[in-house]
Chains A and B, each alone.
Chain A
Amino acid sequence: MNETRPRLPGERAFTLLLLVISLFLLYQAHGISGFSSVSSPGMFPMVAALVMVVSLVAVLVRERRAPPSASGPAAFMTRVTPPVLLLMLALMVAMTLAIEPAGFVVTAGGFLFAGILLLQGGRPVRAAIVAVAALAAIYVVFRLVFQVVLPEAEWL
């Protein structure tokens, strides 16, 4: 029924990390109201956290024999976190940091330009045209039609 798929690099580490977090959440859930009564506010969170722990142990047991595909940092970098992904994440964090001080128009415009440039691998003029057009469309649809409040810079 379940053919064992080769394990991706970092898969077991990810499951173990989730297990550690789940155990921590179980401990936290116990801290809410302990075992004071079966209908206490902490009871259901404890059950949910326990289910997380048990299901992750089941995953680890079931996949213990799954053949690892290529392992090591190099394989992790290509299969799981390729450089393009890390760069996109960096751009996303930068956009979020800048969005309040610099305002939506500048930040999102910059993000679109940099993102498209990165993903299509060059051609800055095309990236700039697409970014400006997309930004204008977003602004008209959401700010003017949907009346969504967007972060605005003080100095603009």
Chain B
Amino acid sequence: MEGSAFSYFLMSWLDPSLLALTAVGTLAGVYIGAIPGLSVTMAVSILISFTFSWDVNEALALMGGVFCGGVYGGSRTAILLNIPGAPSAIATALDGYPLAQRGEAGRAIGVSTVTSVIGGLMGVAALAVAAPAISDFALKFAPRDYLLLAIIGILLVGSLSGESLAKGVFAGALGVLIGMVGLDPLTAEGRFTFGQVSLLGGIPYVAAMIGFFGVAEALAQLHNLKVAPVKQQVDRIVPGWSVIRKYIPLSIRSSVIGVVIGALPGTGGDIAALMAYDNAKRTVKKPSRPFGQGAYEGLVAPESANNAAIGGAYIPMLTLGLPGDAVTAVIIGALFIHGLKPGPMLMIETPHLFWFTVGNLTLANLFTLIFGLTGIRVFAKMMECPRAILIPLIIVLSVVGTYAIQNSVIDIYWMLGFGVLGYFMKLYGFQVGPVILGVILGPLMDVSYRRAMLSVRDDPAMFGWELVANPLTLVLTLSIVLLLASQTPAWGATTARLRRWRRNGG
């Protein structure tokens, strides 16, 4: 068994076409992540429709590469232009841009590359160690536990990433409803079909993904047409070993934060990076410079954490079938298309897929290191690609991607409709990430809820008792109660009173 696991691990290293796809994916990811307006989620959603006729390993190799390269690539523009190329690089800009202003852009890119890869490898290691254990444990999960985990995911992403919990929860619930359209999986009754035969099969979720992440983003970028790219001189970027050694402890600490945040359902690299930055700010006693003015610590922490969050996000995806963040939600969609069912049985039925993923992500991190430290001149040229060209290109790619799923023009209309809705939602402070989580989690929640209810013969009182009777379920229920309570005004008042009481008492 161990031997075969290792051979699956090496699969993408030894097969030339998989090796090439991983390399191409990572290289493309670095640029996609770096170019503001192109996001990893967008790229992966569009890629699903281009790769669904491929072998699943090849599709996963490409997507894994884009994911790793993209999360790293966002830091480039954050440092050089103070524009985070991806949400996970928002925290990177806080100290990265001041470093570039001091003329240390090359060194900053070098340090961020190396610490990104340290974080990424820590994340993969955590995935390799934790996922088999969690997967065994997950076999004991009852439908009600899945329901509660999914609710936690939507609440977490809603409360942490948007303007307000209410807006995040709305977006999540909207996604759940979009996922409900079509034939009910248990009774084959039509839901929200409005008598339309074309709606019986449900709303094509890849069209929704491309609409929300491709077209909506392209439309939102129309407001930034006038932002002129700034040119930066960057030369030597390979950092010395002594510099790296100094930051390894912080990098490892931040990676742990990244893995944990990434592994929570719903939360990904963007939140992990902000949390790690905040943690570094509070715990690093003597930063190289004050935070916010070009401290290398402020670069190391978010960059390690957001890449570590990739491995973390794969954990709930491969073990429970719950997306760790928006990108893994899209990848789950890809696995569905390939006829695979992510969840605890995935590790038992297709262990090769798991070890292949671990090996592939390790490889993608090594490619990130190579591409991160080379090709900086070409990169600077690419950054000058004006939005006037980029925006129409994104839209055409979105159309091609949507049409490719089932060669249907109706899907393109869906995609455009979701794009326009997503544009208004973004503009008015509703996040679109929870919508996609809802689309993926909705059907799972529905079926889990009804199985749980049927198992207690439709007795709501018994259902309520089940939520607190089992230790694991109780922990999950309490987490939801705490999450909701922390959003009410009473929570702030209570914690303030507690703090006062503690201060007076001690």
Contact = CB atoms under 8 A, between A and B. Distances in A.
A135 B50 CA distance: 17
A14 B428 contact: yes
Interface in B404-445: 404, 407, 409, 412-413, 416, 420, 424, 427-429, 442, 445
Contacts of A55: 166-167, 169-170, 173
Size bin of chain A's contact surface: 35 or more
B388 interface: yes
A34 interface: no
A37 B458 contact: yes
A51 B169 contact: yes
Given A38-B453, A41-B187, A96 B174 contact: no
Given A55-B167, A138-B400, A150-B400, A115 B395 contact: yes
Contact of A59 (B53, B166, B404, B413): B166
B458 A28 contact: no
B177 A96 contact: no
A153 B186 CA distance: 42
Given A45-B191, A85-B219, A96 B409 contact: yes
Given A14-B428, A111-B396, A56 B170 contact: yes
Nearest to A108: B396
A62 interface: yes
A2 B163 contact: yes
A39 B458 contact: yes
A43 B450 contact: yes
A5 B163 CA distance: 10
Nearest to A12: B428
A48 B50 contact: no
Contact of B395 (A15, A111, A120, A148): A111
B164 A59 contact: yes
A41 B392 contact: no
Contacts of A15: 428
B23 interface: no
Contact of B189 (A10, A41, A58): A41
A117 to B, nearest CB: 9
A1 B486 CA distance: 12
Interface residues of B, number: 61
Given A84-B222, A95-B399, A115 B392 contact: yes
A99 B409 contact: yes
Interface in A57-115: 58-59, 62, 80, 82, 84-85, 88-89, 92-93, 95-96, 99-100, 104, 108, 111-112, 115
B450 A119 contact: no
Nearest to B187: A41
A10 B428 CA distance: 9
A1 B496 CA distance: 14
Given A96-B416, A99-B399, A49 B166 contact: no
A18 B166 CA distance: 13
A92 B442 contact: no
Interface string A11-32: 1001100100000010011001
Contact of B397 (A25, A82, A99, A138): A138
Contacts of A33: 189
Contacts of B466: none
Contact of B170 (A2, A18, A41, A62): A18
A147 B404 CA distance: 10
B170 A146 contact: no
Given A14-B428, A45-B192, A115 B391 contact: yes
B50 A32 contact: no
A23 to B, nearest CB: 13
B403 interface: yes
A128 interface: no
Given A39-B453, A44-B449, A55-B170, A32 B191 contact: yes
Contacts of B219: 85, 88-89
B389 A116 contact: yes
A82 to B, nearest CB: 7
B225 interface: yes
Interface in B32-63: 49-51, 53
Contact of B173 (A39, A52, A120, A147): A52
A112 B386 CA distance: 14
A139 B217 CA distance: 23
Contacts of A58: 166
A156 interface: no
Interface in B148-200: 163-164, 166-167, 169-170, 173-174, 176-177, 180, 184, 186-187, 189, 191-192
A132 interface: no
A96 B389 contact: no
Given A49-B177, A84-B222, A111-B392, 9 more contacts: A5-B163, A14-B428, A43-B450, A92-B395, A99-B409, A116-B388, A119-B387, A130-B389, A148-B404
Interface of A: 1-2, 5, 8, 10-11, 14-15, 18, 25, 28-29, 32-33, 37-39, 41-45, 48-49, 51-52, 55-56, 58-59, 62, 80, 82, 84-85, 88-89, 92-93, 95-96, 99-100, 104, 108, 111-112, 115-116, 119-120, 130, 134, 138, 142, 146-151
10 contacts: A11-B428, A41-B186, A44-B449, A85-B219, A92-B416, A115-B391, A116-B392, A119-B387, A120-B386, A142-B404
Kindly list the 10 A-B residue pairs having the minimum CB-CB distance in the complex, ordered from nearest: A115-B392, A119-B388, A120-B388, A58-B166, A39-B453, A55-B170, A41-B184, A44-B446, A51-B173, A48-B176
Interface of B: 49-51, 53, 163-164, 166-167, 169-170, 173-174, 176-177, 180, 184, 186-187, 189, 191-192, 215, 219, 222-223, 225, 386-389, 391-393, 395-397, 399-400, 403-404, 407, 409, 412-413, 416, 420, 424, 427-429, 442, 445-446, 449-450, 453-454, 458, 460, 463, 492
